[in-house]
Structures are given as structure tokens and as C-alpha cells.
Chain A
Amino acid sequence: MSSPVHIRVDRSLCVGSGTCVGTDPARFRMEDGRATATDGEHDLDDDLIDAIDGCPVAAITAHDPATDELVR
């Protein structure tokens, strides 16, 4: 069981490929042609890791909710 994370999408990098939405529709959605992540804390599970690693422009990051430290 992994510790919870906050998800961040850098919308200035996002190119709207929709890869994250296809990989992890529970956490990501498209807004105005760019991706956005659901607020709150999430498990860093396989779907989320695939969405982060699969982003073609590396616009998605996961952070420790307490320290804001980059987790992935």
C-alpha cells in the first residue's frame, strides 16, 4: 500500500493528448482541451503511475500532501 499523493498537471505543458484520461479516467478529465486532475489525495497505484509515466510531455507529477515533495 503506497502513501497518498496530490496530483499536479502543468497545463502550460499539456498538449491535450488525452493519454492520462484514457489510462486513469477516475483521476483525470479534459477541460478546454487540456487535462486536469481530481483534487484531493490519491493512492499512487498502477493506473496513476501509468498515467504519469505515459504523459508524452511529462506534464503530470505526484507530490507528498504534507511536504509537497516530488514523489513521482
Chain B
Amino acid sequence: VTNAPVTDDMLSAAAVRDPYAYFGRLRETAPVHFNERYRMWLLTRYADVEAAFRDPRFSSDRITPFIEQRLSDQPETGLARTFNILADWLVFKDPPDHGRLRKLVSRAFTPRAVEQMQERIELIASQLLDALPTDGTVDLIRGFAYPLPAIVIAEMLGVPPSDRDLFKGWSDDISALVFGGLDEVGRHDRAAVGMLELASYLTELIDHYETEPADNLISALVRAEGEGDKLSRDEVVATCTLLLFGGHETTTNLIGNGLLALLQHPDQLDHLRVEPQDFRPAVEEFLRFDGPAKAVARVMAEDVVIGEQHLRRGDRVYLVPAAANRDPRVYDDPDVFDIRREGPQHLGFAFGPHYCLGAPLARMEGTVAIRAVLDRFDGLELATDELSWHPVMLNRGLMELPVALRRREGTL
């Protein structure tokens, strides 16, 4: 750690490649820092990030203020309609609406509910691996880490398999908006197109399951909608877009980043082959060491003073798990990857009322997916010296994970 000033560009090539060095330097030199370039606060110490996650003055609703300030004079544009859908996303809600919506959706994602899905997820993983070339170099993001969670969430919701490919484009468009921050005007239009096409597709599907209910999440949401004022139709559509979207991007990155960490620490990869029960702490270490959530955005609902810094109502704040999860005040040797590490929970799924609803499913998918790869191939080697990361502020994910595969003898 040096005391050199930190560049204000969180999207510089160096900061995208190694956010841990970038945010780590802030954590040690300026733990409550105002970034002038993007005009937002960055909280990087574990104690501050955890406290902020629990503090309702750090509001999750960063959408409503944007609609009021920037879109009130153009209510009928695609962008305004996109933001109205986003405003109904659980992740952007504050109490009491947040609790009401979350309770309805959470039943499908509890550890017990997710346990029932393990065999199905194992089968999907196995079929995806069957489809990979038998030898040679394969991009495990495109061929495996991306489609696995996309198929799982599509099946949970009730999206027919033939329609799945439609979602990648829409999800990518929306991702640029949600994970990129709200700054660049150019990306808004593309995201609006993606969001509105997705919403219109889902509206048709919701209508379908309203007349012909089936055993899936959309049918369950429609049923809840029917029970009085629990859920409005707009909220059903918004919740479906959120779940589809949430099921695409972040779990892909958990699988991709986890595989990468193991490829870079072959002794620990070998250990998991022999002691698969250690996947339980290993998944937590994937999330702590190089998790999908670099930062989580909040907006100040009231003034708050932290140390000598005065955060004002309306200020934007990024809580940075990528820094907090490597805080030396909390973890010994925080920059060391150790799948058997013990210690406090990482903040990769946040903390408090917005703790990731999909966490049990993500843990299950991460474990099943990576274990399936280790079981299938006895030769696994990273096939590049230059990794490319998505250049976005909130998310940490690989564009490609090229791996040289050698199949285990006796498997197909």
C-alpha cells in the first residue's frame, strides 16, 4: 500500500483489471472517499460497508430520484417507461413495499426450495458439458457459465426453452444500464429497447399462465396478484424482468470467477477433487476473493456523517464489497485465496434487508457447476495470459474464460 493519490477513474484499464489494488488503496488511505469524476462516495472498509447495508438512510431507491429529476417532462418515452419498470424492481425498493414484494418472491429461493432443484441443475450442467468439444480450448463462459444459470432461471419462471436465446441480447442491454451506473446517455437508449422488448414478451407469457397456470414462478406470482392488492400487474412484470436478469449475469460471474481462481491455484483445485465436501467453504471464498459484486449503489435519504466526511441527502454512494471483503482489519492475509478459510461472512451478497434473495440458488449453482467441470476433466489449464473483464463499475465478470480441456478417461 502506498500513499500515492488514487486516480479518479474507476473504469481505467488498470482498475477494471485489478479492482482490488484500486479499491484497496482507497480503503487504506481514504475509506470514505468522494470520487469527483463520477460524483459519488465510495465506502471501502468492512465495518462501514456492513453498517451502511443495515442503515435505511442509505436508500436503495436510486431510480425514483432519477425519474423525478431527469424524466418528469418526458413520461411517454421508452426511457421513462424503462425506468418505471426498474422502479418496481425489488433491489431498488425501500420499506414497506420492499418487504411485501420480497416475501412473495423469497419462497422460491429458500435453501430448502433450492435443495429440491439440485438434481435438475446437475443434469443441465452435465448436458452443457456434453455439448463441449472433446478436446482443445473452450470458452467456459459462453459454453457453460453463461447458459447454466440462464436455463435454470428460465425453467423456474416458465420460459419455454425455444425462447431462451431471446434473453441474452435483452439481458446484455439492460446490464449495461444497471451495472454501468446512470451516467452515459448513449447506453440508455439501447437498454430501453432491451427492457421494453423483454417486458412485452413477459406480459404475453404472464397472460398465458393466467389462463393456463403451471408449476412455475410466473404462475405463483399471478396467483399472488389475484389475492387482493398484494402484487400489481406492473410489479409482476417488473419482478419477472428482475429475476430473469438477476439469474443471467451474476451467477455466470460466480462460476467464471470461481473457476478462474481455482485454475490459478491448482493445488486447491486438486484438493476439491479429493475433498468435495470443502465446496461449502470454497464457494464462500470464491465470493469473498473475487465475487461478482464489486460495488452496490445507494443514494442518501438523509445527511450522514462518517468520521470527518459529511454525506448529504441525495448524494450517490457506492458500497464496495470488493474492498470490504479484503479488509485486513477483518481477514488475515486478505489477498490470499484459501478455500478453507474461516472468518466473518463476506459482504458479496450484501447484508440486511437487501441480502441477495438468490443467494441459496447462486451457491447451489456455483457448487454444482464447478464440481461438474472438475469431475468431467482431469486436465484443465487456463489458455490465455490476458484476461478481459467487463468494463463496468458494479459487476466483476470475465468476457471469456478460455480453458484447455482434457477429458477424464472413461467419460464421454
Contact = CB atoms under 8 A, between A and B. Distances in A.
Given A54-B106, A55-B110, A22 B352 contact: no
B343 to A, nearest CB: 11
B349 A54 contact: no
Contacts of B102: 19, 22
Contacts of A70: none
Given A22-B103, A56-B106, A15 B352 contact: yes
Interface in A11-34: 13, 15-19, 22-23, 33
A54 B355 contact: no
B360 interface: yes
Interface residues of A, number: 15
B360 A18 contact: no
Given A57-B359, A58-B111, A15 B106 contact: no
A64 interface: no
B306 to A, nearest CB: 17
A11 to B, nearest CB: 11
A22 B111 contact: no
B110 A15 contact: no
B110 A22 contact: no
Given A22-B103, A33-B54, A56 B351 contact: no
Interface string B91-134: 00000000100110011011110000000000000000000000
A18 B352 contact: yes
Nearest to A33: B54
Contact of B352 (A13, A16, A58): A16
Interface in A31-69: 33, 53-58
Contacts of A33: 54, 351-352
Given A22-B103, A56-B359, A56-B360, A16 B110 contact: no
Interface string B53-95: 0100000000000000000000000000000000000000000
B109 A56 contact: yes
A53 B103 CA distance: 12
Nearest to B353: A18
Chain B contact surface mostly: helix
B355 A17 contact: yes
B106 A16 contact: no
Interface in B335-359: 345, 349, 351-357, 359
B357 A56 contact: yes
A14 B353 CA distance: 11
Contacts of A19: 102-103, 106
Nearest to A18: B353
A39 B388 CA distance: 53
Contacts of A18: 99, 352-353
A13 B103 CA distance: 20
B344 to A, nearest CB: 8
B359 A22 contact: no
Contact of B355 (A16, A23, A53, A58): A16
Given A16-B54, A18-B353, A33-B54, A56 B103 contact: no
Nearest to B112: A53
B314 to A, nearest CB: 25
B353 A16 contact: yes
Contacts of B355: 15-17, 56-57
Given A56-B357, A56-B359, A56-B360, A15 B99 contact: no
A33 B350 CA distance: 13
A70 B352 CA distance: 26
Contacts of A17: 352-355
A18 B54 CA distance: 11
19 contacts: A13-B345, A16-B54, A16-B351, A16-B352, A16-B353, A17-B352, A17-B353, A17-B355, A18-B99, A18-B352, A22-B99, A22-B103, A55-B111, A56-B106, A56-B355, A56-B356, A56-B360, A57-B111, A58-B112
Interface of A: 13, 15-19, 22-23, 33, 53-58
Given A13-B345, A16-B353, A33-B54, 17 more contacts: A15-B349, A16-B54, A16-B352, A17-B354, A17-B355, A18-B99, A18-B352, A18-B353, A19-B106, A54-B103, A54-B106, A54-B110, A56-B106, A56-B110, A56-B357, A56-B359, A58-B111
Interface of B: 54, 99, 102-103, 106-107, 109-112, 345, 349, 351-357, 359-360
* Top 5 A-B pairs, shortest CB-CB distance: A17-B355, A33-B54, A16-B352, A15-B355, A58-B111
